[in-house]
A and B are shown apart, each in its own frame.
Chain A
Amino acid sequence: MASDRGTAHNGVAPSPFGSISLWLLLFALWLIMNASIELPVVLTGAVIALVIDWIFMCRSGTWWQVILTPKSVVHFIAYTGVFFVELVKANLNMLRYVYSPRIDIHPGIVKINTGLKSPIGRLALANSIALTPGSLVMDIQGDVIFIHWLDVKTVDPGLATEMIAAPFEKHLGAVFG
Chain B
Amino acid sequence: MMELVGSIIILAGAFFLFSAGLGLLRMPDAFTRIQAGTKASTLGNILVLVGLGFYHPDWSLKLLIVAYFVLMTNPLSSHALSRAAHRIGIPMAASTFTDALRDAENEQKGKGAQ
Contacts and interface: CB of A to CB of B under 8 A. Distances in A.
A117 B96 CA distance: 31
Contacts of A88: 43
B65 A33 contact: yes
Interface of A is mostly: mixed
Interface of B is mostly: helix
A148 interface: yes
Interface string A102-130: 01011111110000000000000011001
Contacts of B16: 91, 95
Interface size class of A (residues with CB under 8 A): 35 or more
B32 A107 contact: yes
Contact of B96 (A97, A107, A137): A107
Nearest to B105: A1
Interface string B81-113: 011001000001101111111101000100000
Nearest to B23: A98
A91 B40 contact: yes
B82 A32 contact: no
A50 to B, nearest CB: 20
Contacts of A91: 16, 39-40, 43
A97 B20 CA distance: 11
14 contacts: A32-B61, A32-B65, A35-B62, A91-B39, A94-B40, A98-B19, A99-B19, A105-B28, A106-B95, A106-B97, A127-B72, A130-B75, A131-B39, A134-B35
Give me the 3 closest cross-chain CB pairs, A-B, nearest first.
A130-B75, A108-B98, A127-B75
Interface of A: 1, 29, 32-33, 35, 87-88, 90-91, 94-95, 97-99, 103, 105-111, 126-127, 130-131, 134, 136-139, 141, 144, 146, 148, 150, 152, 155
